[in-house]
Structure 1
């Protein structure tokens, strides 16, 4: 009973703590054990990586994500994380946006940005969406062509060429304006409350999912490392 009361009294893990702990662990495994990184994902996950022409390739399923990450040879690089910003999102998920500097073995480096959406599961989170792009290059992106159609009024007919009975322009019909619906009169948006997922932090990835565990000194340790 005392142990249960102690756990209940502990404050919930914030999005900031989860994001910092996740980024620390993700990049530690990415560079030291790249063959295990795919375990942060599931088969429904989507991983986006840029090609040489600037287009973004989307990869899904754990097997394909593993092959894609191994082909990029992240084990030959090291990363310095510059910033981590985390935000609570839909249905208990967490958006994570980070920036960093990746250095190769020849000491050449590139700035990059990466975003994750951590989706909640029975225990902790898994990476549902992952988008990555380098910031110091300007590839030739595919052109996006948007056709713009301009509607103009017909030219007026001179009065001297039109009979008096036909000279009067009929009143224009009033435009139908789409209705804008407010969620409620007082501006409040109804929120469906859901049970907050339990987070935990693990030192090794032993199964096919990544989890963060709450009420552990490891959380504060990883948070401190991520911020220093």
Structure 2
């Protein structure tokens, strides 16, 4: 079965990145459709994916549709249990689902102050107390995951849906040069070296579309990610 996935701009849409990784990282076939953000056609394009109101949206050939990344994750896990979206171990699986839920509704200070932008790295960014508190929370929950993980660079050893959900957070940490612990930085580096993320960013760069809505008014340097091999 090949799915259809509607996404926003790769360089900026953190939720689209999560949705795409839920297919790409688990070898699930998908046709990707672009809906450029802050464009007059954005709303009219979504009309073909009703009742969705934003991206990403995924649709199966049988007409089933999921319009939220948690819904996409659970829908795919239900249809493809062999794909391994969630850890096999029950304790790890429970924590993975808990972390995904917290990511979905939490870390508001970090997300508001540091919108994902894969085109540049912002220099001289000063994190607020709220952002620092979110970084401290990330250290705690990622440490908890690593505490029950097997070998491997990801939260639960083998890549899971939890890593897809936290990929844009890792990109924020890298893109704003945020102060983090060695454990957090090691996990961020795993994402920066992830071939799929490198492909995603390269495809965004190829469109060469800059959204001024994301301009922080700070000096910039190149985003710290290598080109895909």
Same fold (TM over 0.5): no
Structure that is richer in strand per residue: 1
The structure that is helix-richer by fraction is 2
TM-score (norm 2): 0.23
Q: Compute the TM-score of the two structures, normalised by the length of structure 1.
A: 0.23
